[in-house]
């Protein structure tokens, strides 16, 4: 009896313990899970510096290579073929437009002029003879016409023949006179060509090349001539040719003054004025050629010099410019991290101009947004952050 009571008491005790364990196990597990989640959440909250996003005008200067070229440059060829007789200038000579630079002789041309003048003299003689014959035939006709007033003295046919002869003589006079005028025009044309034997300066400038000497056979460009007699360049005003990358196309503004330097004068800064953009992007190197006018009254600058242009980069309107550390680039996207009430929000952006420390960004952003100063993809999208606002000066 006693043994049975003990067995029943032990069994009841075991059942009570089992029931108690089953009743309290889910609550304990839930509490443990909540504690773990809270601990994990506490661990993922990171403190990050943020700054207020404000629009600003991007300004910087970018260095581009450039080359100085003459404002005007002309290769001087004679207009007629001949031999150089005299040269009055040399390399380095300063000349003015219209100044005689050299003379050329052309014996064949002189013979042509003499022949044309002879034809004019012959035409004068022919005209005099034709006029004399016309006056003679006209006088005969007038006498016959007067005689014909008496009936039966002159036949009608004879009078008509005299009239036609006088008219033919007059037509001959006109033909000879026209031929004479053509001969005179031929002489004038040859004399005009003969005037080309004196070679004059087409522009004001400096003789930068002179490779031929008296006695050399010369001729017009494209007519067998391989070398010009002179090359003349205007040096008091130069062109500065700059190739501007396509991304800076909007920065080209006519009339803008741009500084540049040359290695010859490292302590001096020169200026050019934008005058002639190409308005076309080269398909090979994706650049636009822009010409700047450079005044050079003292001729301290020379064509062919290479220059470094300090090109001003400035937007027409304000944009968002942020520290480059705030922009994260991966193989999939470029983005910034915006603080949204304590949670990280990845916002995709496109970048614009950059100066190394700062970069323009374009995307779904607005003034007053708080951006993480030092962005990293370790700050996951949607994760909790503890933002600490810093001023722009502390960046």
The Cα–Cα gap between 256 and 293 comes to: 11
- Specify if 6 maps to a domain: no
265, pLDDT greater than 90: yes
The two three-digit tokens of residue 38, written as one number? 């809270």
pLDDT greater than 70 at residue 39: no
Domain count, the chain: 4
- Is the whole-model pTM more than 0.85? no
| DSSP character at residue 22 | H
Q: What is the CATH number of the domain that holds 218?
A: 2.40.50.100
- Asked if 49 and 391 count as a contact pair (C-beta separation under 8 A), the reply is no
Residue 21 belongs to a domain: no
Q: Which residue shows structure tokens 């014909």?
A: 148
Same domain, 309 and 335: no
Give the mean model confidence (pLDDT) for residues 214-241.
Answer: 86
Q: Cα–Cα distance between 346 and 335 in angstroms, integer?
A: 6
Residue 190 has pLDDT above 90, yes or no: no
**Statement to judge: residues 294 and 246 lie in one domain:** yes
Between CA 183 and CA 125 the distance in angstroms is: 13
Q: What would the pLDDT profile of 63-118 be if each residue is shown by its tens digit?
A: 999 999 999 999 999 988 889 999 999 999 999 999 999 999 888 777 777 887 88
Mean pLDDT across 259-265: 96
Judge if 217 and 80 occupy the same domain. Answer: yes
What's the average model confidence in pLDDT over 18-38?
49
Query: What is the distance between the alpha carbons of residues 372 and 391, in angstroms, rounded to a whole number?
Result: 12
Instruction: Give the pLDDT confidence of 268-324 residue by residue, as tens digits.
Output: 999 999 999 999 999 999 999 999 999 999 999 999 999 999 998 888 788 899 999
Higher per-residue confidence, 384 vs 150: 384
- Give the model's pLDDT for residue 22: 44
Residue environment code for 320-351, b if the CB has 16+ CB neighbours within 10 A, otherwise e:
bbbbebbbbeeeeeebbbbbeeeebbbbebee
Residue 61: pLDDT band (50, 70, 90) is confident
In the structure encoding, which two tokens stand for residue 23, read together?
Answer: 């009743």
Taking the CB of residue 185, how many other CB atoms lie within 10 A of it? 12
Give residue 44's pLDDT band: very low, low, confident or very high (50, 70, 90).
low
pLDDT tens for each residue of 194-223? 888 899 999 999 999 998 899 988 888 765
User: For residue 213, what are the domain limits?
Assistant: 74-102+202-233
Q: How far apart are CA 93 and CA 202, in angstroms?
A: 14
Residue 352 lies in a domain: yes
Least confident of 45-54, 106-115, 335-344: 106-115
Residues 155 and 176 in one domain: yes
Residue 133 sits in the same domain as residue 187:
yes
293 shares its domain with 177: no
Last residue of a domain, one of 212, 233, 254: 233
């Amino acid at each position: 009896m006693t043994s049975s009571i003990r067995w029943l008491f032990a069994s009841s005790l075991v059942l009570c313990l089992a029931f108690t364990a089953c009743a309290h196990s889910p609550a304990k597990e839930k509490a443990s899970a909540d504690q773990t989640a809270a601990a994990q959440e506490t661990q993922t909250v990171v403190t990050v510096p943020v700054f207020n996003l404000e629009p600003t005008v991007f300004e910087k200067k970018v260095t581009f290579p450039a080359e100085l070229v003459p404002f005007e440059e002309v290769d001087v060829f004679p207009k007629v073929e001949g031999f150089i007789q005299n040269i009055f200038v040399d390399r380095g000579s300063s000349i003015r437009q219209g100044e005689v630079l050299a003379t050329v002789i052309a014996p064949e041309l002189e013979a042509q002029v003499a022949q044309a003048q002879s034809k004019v003299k012959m035409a004068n003689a022919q005209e005099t003879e034709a006029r004399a014959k016309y006056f003679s035939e006209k006088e005969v006709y007038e006498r016959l016409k007067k005689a014909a007033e008496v009936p039966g003295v002159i036949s009608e046919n004879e009078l008509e023949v005299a009239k036609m002869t006088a008219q033919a003589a007059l037509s001959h006079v006109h033909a000879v006179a026209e031929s004479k005028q053509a001969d005179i025009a031929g002489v004038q044309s040859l004399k005009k060509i003969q005037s080309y034997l004196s070679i004059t300066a087409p522009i004001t400038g400096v003789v930068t090349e002179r490779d031929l000497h008296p006695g050399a056979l010369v001729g017009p460009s494209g007519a067998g001539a391989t070398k010009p007699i002179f090359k003349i360049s205007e040096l008091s005003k130069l062109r500065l040719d700059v190739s501007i990358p396509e991304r800076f196309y909007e920065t080209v503004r006519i009339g803008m003054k741009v500084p540049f330097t040359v290695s010859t004068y490292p302590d001096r800064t020169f200026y050019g004025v934008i005058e002639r953009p190409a308005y076309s992007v080269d398909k090979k190197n994706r650049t636009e050629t822009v010409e700047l006018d450079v005044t050079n009254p003292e001729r301290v600058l020379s064509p062919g010099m290479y220059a470094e242009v300090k090109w001003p980069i400035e937007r027409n309107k304000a944009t968002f410019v942020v520290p480059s550390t705030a922009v994260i680039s991966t193989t999939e996207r470029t983005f910034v991290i915006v603080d949204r009430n304590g949670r990280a929000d990845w916002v995709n952006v496109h970048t614009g101009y950059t100066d190394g420390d700062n970069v323009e960004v374009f995307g779904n952003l607005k003034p007053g947004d708080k951006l993480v100063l030092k962005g990293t993809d370790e700050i996951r999208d949607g994760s909790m952050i503890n933002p600490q606002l810093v001023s722009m000066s502390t960046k």
